[in-house]
Structure 1
Amino acid sequence: MIKKYSILSYIFILVILALVSLCIGRYALKISEIFSILFGNRANWQEVNLLVNIRLPRVLLVIVSGAALALSGMVFQSIFQNPLISPDVLGVSSGCSLGAAIGIVFLSASPFMIQGLSFIFGICSVIFSLILSKKMRSNRVLALIISGIVTGALTSSFIMIIKYFADPYKELPAIDFWLMGGFYNSDWKSVINVLILVFISTIILFLLRWKLKVLTMGDDQAKLLGVNVKCIRTIAIFSATLLVSSVVSVAGLISWIGILAPHIVKSFARDDISKIIPLTMAVGAIILLIADTVARSITTTEIPISILTSLFGAPFLVYLLNKKGAVIR
C-alpha cells in the first residue's frame, strides 16, 4: 500500500532540488534572489535573464525529461512483463538517436523532422527487437535483452556510418551532442514542445493504467479479463516511444533513467498503479535533476549527462541481472 504522504514527500524533495539547482552555477544565486526575480521585485536584468531565460527552462526541461524517461521504462517493463527491460535495453533510445542523426545530416536539423524521425526509428527499433526475440528459443527475458543488444548494435553501426559522411565542422559535433546527451541548449520553446508531447502520452497511459496492470499478469490472464492485449500493447508502445523520442529530440541520448526509477519505486510500492505512475515520474525527475546539476557544476566544463547516468545505471543493471539470475538461467 502506498501512503499519500509518499507522493507528496517526493514532490517536496523535487521542488527543493529544483530550487537548489536554480541557485547553483558559475554565477550563484540566493534563494531570496530567486523569489524576488520570480515575483518581479528585482530590477537587475542580468540576474533576471540568467534565471528566466537560462536556468529556469533548463530545470523544467530536465524535470519533464526525467519524468518521461522513467514512465516509459515503467510501461515497457509492464507490457513485456520483464523487470530488466528499459528504453535503453530494448534499443528504443538508440533508434531515436539514429532518427535524430538522419535528421541532422540530411534534413538540415529541422526540429520537427528530428522529433518525427526519432519517433519513427524508435518504433522501428521496438518492432525489430520483438520480431528478433520471437525467433529465439531461449528464455523470454534473455531473448528480449539479447534482441535489444543486437538492435542497439545495428543502430550504432548506422550512426557511425552517418558520422563518417557527416560534415566534420557542423554536423559531426551536432551528432556527438545527441549521443552524449545534455541540456546545453534548453529554452522555453523546447520546454513547451516536450511538455505537450509528454502530457499527451502521460494522459493516454494513465487512462490505460489498469489494463497495463492486468498485462503484468500475462497475456492469457489479461484476455480472460477482457483486455484486448494486442491493441493495448500497441497503444502503450507508441505512447512510451513518444515519451522517449520527445526527450531525445531536444536533449540527445540519456541512458538508464528508464530502468533506475521504476525499480526504486517498486522497492517500496507495488499495488496501486495510479499512485505508482506519479511516483515513478517524480523519482525519474529527481534522479535526472541531480545528475544534471552535478554535470554542470562539478567542473568548469559541463560533463555530458549520460556519463553520470551510466556510471550509476550500469552497476545497477549488473545488480538486477544478479538478482534475477535464477529467472534468466
Structure 2
Amino acid sequence: MSIAADERRTRILEIVRKLGTVRVTDLAARLDLPAVTVRRDVATLAETGLLRRSHGSVSVPDERAGADARTLGLIVPTVSHTVSQYFDEVIAGARAAAADAGAHLVLGISSYDPGADRGQAEQLLKSGAEGLMLTPNWMSTSNPDDRLWLNELPVPTVLVERRAAVGTAAAELDSVSSDHHHGVLLALRHLAALGHDTVALAARRDTWTALKVRSGYAEGCATLGLTPQPVIDIDDPATAPERVAGQLAEAVGRGVRAALVHNDQDAIQLPALLRARGLSVPEDLALISYDDVFAALGAPPLTAVAPPKRAVGAAAVDLLLRRLRHGSALPIHRLELLPELKVRASCGRQGTA
C-alpha cells in the first residue's frame, strides 16, 4: 500500500528528530521505502528548511547551522592549466562543504607574483570575509619576513595545501594539506612491488607540490632501499617533454625500467614521445604520474598518485568554521590528508599498492 507524500515526510521528520542525524539509506530502510523516494522527500524538506543535508546524511537544522552562516574567503593560485585544474577540485570541495554548513564562499585567484596574495586577502576582507583559507605563494621569495603579514590578518586563517615550517611566522596558523611525501612513497612502493629496484623521477620545481615530490622521492628511496637517480628537471613545459623523453630513454638504456613524473600535463605526453624512440609504456618503462588531474585520459591510462584535493577543500572549511566558533579555545590544527594510488595500465602488472 502506497503512502501519501505528506505522510511520508511527516514520518521522515519524526525519525530524524528522534535520531538527530541519520544516513538517507538507513532512513529508507527504516521506512521500508525506495531510497530514491526518500531522497526526493528529503530534498523537498531541505528546500523548505525543515531538514539539513550533508554528505549522504540528514539532520534537523540546529543552532550550529545558524552560527555557521558565515562569509568565508578562499584564495588559490593559478599559474598553469594543470595547477588551475588541481585547485578547481579544492574549490569544489570547499564550495560543497560551505553550502552544507550554510556558509557563503567568496573566491580570490592569486598569481605567483610577490604581493599578490596580500592584495587578494585585503580585497576579500573588504568583501566581508570573516575568515580566510589561503594557499600562499611561497615560491617567489625566500625572505621569511615577507610572510609576517599572515600573522597580522584580522580574521582566523587556515593554510590550504601549505604547511609552515616550525619556528616560522606562519607556524601557528591552522593548516590542511595533502601529505605528498606519503603520496610519493605509495608510488615507489607500488613500483618496488613490481620488481623495480630503481625508479627515475622527472619533476618540476615551480610549485609547492613539486618541491614536496622531490624531497619525498629522496626520503622514499631511502625508506624502501631503492637506488636514487638524479632528478630529471622539467623546467620549460613547452620544450621539456622532448628532452625528458630523451633522458628517460637514456635511463632505460642504463637499466632503469620505472619512472614517476610530476605532473599529469608532462606525464601524459611521454608515452607517444617514447614510442617515437622505440620504447613502450609499460613494456619498457612503467610510468606513474603525480596529481591525477587527467591521468586517466592517457594512452595508456596512467597510474597516478591522487592527492585528496576535494577533501582538503572541505576539511579547510570545516576547520575554519570551528575556529570561528571556538576561537583560541580550539588548539592549532595541522591536518595532513593521505593521497591514494589509482592503479591503471601504465605500470603493467598491478602488484601491491
Query: TM-score per shorter chain, which class?
Result: under 0.3
TM-score, with length taken from structure 2:
0.25
Q: Which has the larger radius of gyration?
A: 2
Q: Which has a greater percent of strand?
A: 2
Q: Select the structure with the greater relative contact order (CA < 8 A; seq sep ≥ 6).
A: 1
Higher helix fraction (1 or 2): 1
